[in-house]
Amino acid sequence: MWRMEPRPSQAELEELGLFDPAAPDAADRSLLLNWAFDLGATLDELVRAHQTRTDSLGALLVDLVLRPPGPTEDLAAFAAGSGLDADLVRRLWLALGLPDSDISPVRVTPDAAVALRFFAGMAPFFGEDATFGVARVLGSSMARLSEALSGAFRMSVEVPSRSAGTSYHEVAGQTTAVVRDRIPPFVDAMAAVFRRHLVNVSYQMWSPDAENAAVTLQRTVCFADLVGSTEALRALSIREMAELVRRFEEQVWDLVSAAGGRVVKLIGDEAMFVLDDPVRACQVGMDLIETSGHPVRIGMTHGTVVGLYGDYYGEVVILAARLVSAAAPSTLVVSQSIRDRVDADFTLESLGPLELKGFADPTPAYRVMPLGKRR
């Protein structure tokens, strides 16, 4: 049975550089250290946290509150004693986006050990390539979600509290209380949303490629970006920049989701999204141009794409990306494949064949406008 180790003396803590009784924050740090030991922290964990960042006791408290009871291990120690292939374990850990370091404070906890065993068991079923692809998508998604949650808490709770003179010990208390009380239901909510998305994907039409190597789908692929965003962002304050990007992402997300599409990725000032129907896609593009507070340009095409680990690939994707680069501000530019499918619903103005990077022949392109409107 797992047991907590004996609590070190103050002299031991001083010797390891974990506590300085003469420091201005000595009383606050003493409370934090005792709290960490009460939650089951080991001396080794405190040293690791201190080596990572000198004011990292709050982060360690979050770890202690989040994880289930039981010992933690270095990745190498877990891999060696797990009965699994050690190289497979290490590669899975890295695919999940977690650090592989002897001094990293992010260790293999009992629940993380279960997760690694689960993914190792997936490999014979799905094959290693698919298993690692799914693991990388999960790692990327969870890292982004963690950054979003952490940033929201820091700016909404931690910064105002510290600005008001709240001690670090009290802020750490707020943080651990939120983690303890809110994260379990958040994880349940996340699982529910995942299940709904999985059902939604199950209804989509798809087919394998000729070699049965990947899923192929018919999609309207769209790229949208903020015009002149590099210059605009340089001229803005951090608050203004954050608000500009937030508004852009919110508008894209709301319009695409409402139309039954999917935002594939958001990369700062650019978004990639897909829809099944070119007419709805064009309407989303027009609505985005009309409602955006900053000029937006959009490139769009339709055809067969390769779906791989949650992203899309192929000539159709490349063409859409090239068309957005050729679009003027506040303009939606589409390919011939879109024109052929939306001609009855929109007015299309030929831009003539365009010379696009990566395409040997000039490519027909059209500007989309509301039906009956001409420039």
Q: For 62-104, what is each residue's pLDDT tens digit?
A: 999 999 988 899 999 999 999 999 999 999 999 999 988 776 8
Residue matched to tokens 């003396």? 9
Q: Which residues contact 279 (CB under 8 A, 6 or more apart)?
A: 341, 342, 345
Strand ranges, E, within the chain: 207-208, 215-226, 262-267, 270-275, 296-308, 311-313, 332-335, 346-350, 365-370
Residue 37 has pLDDT above 80, yes or no: yes
Banded pLDDT at 3 (limits 50, 70, 90): low
Asked if residue 276 is part of any domain, the answer here is yes
- Asked if residue 141 belongs to a domain, the reply is no
The closest alpha carbon to 78, from 59, 98, 64, belongs to 98
Q: 245 in a domain, yes or no?
A: yes
Q: Evaluate whether residue 84 is within a structural domain.
A: no
User: Around 313, how many Cα atoms within 13 Å sit in the side-chain half-sphere?
Assistant: 9
Task: Evaluate whether residue 306 is within a structural domain.
Answer: yes
Helix 168-202 crosses helix 26-38 at what angle (to 10 degrees)?
50
Domain limits for position 328? 207-370
The percent of residues in the chain predicted with pLDDT above 90, rounded, is: 63
Tokens of 258: 């409402």
The mean per-residue pLDDT over the stretch 240-267 comes to 91
User: Among residues of the chain, what percentage have pLDDT more than 70?
Assistant: 96
Assigned domain for 294 exists: yes
Q: How does the average pLDDT of the chain come out, rounded?
A: 90
Token pair, residue 8, equals 């070190």
CATH number reported for the structural domain that contains residue 278 in this entry? 3.30.70.1230
pLDDT at 1: 44
- How far apart (Å, rounded) are the C-alpha atoms in residues 204 and 200? 7
- What tens digit of pLDDT does each residue of 293-346 get? 889 999 999 999 999 999 999 999 999 999 998 999 999 999 999 999 999 999
Token pair of 27, please? 């009383």
In total, how many domains does the chain have? 1
Q: Give the residue-averaged pLDDT of 27-49.
A: 89
Which helix H or strand E contains 79, and what residues bound it?
Answer: helix 75-81
pLDDT of 243 over the 80 cut: yes
Mean pLDDT computed over 154-177: 89
Q: pLDDT by residue (tens digit) across 46-59?
A: 888 888 876 788 88
Q: Is 188 a member of any domain?
A: no
For residue 293, tell me if it sits in a domain: yes
Helix/strand number for the chain, H first, E second: 15, 9
- Residue type present at position 99: P
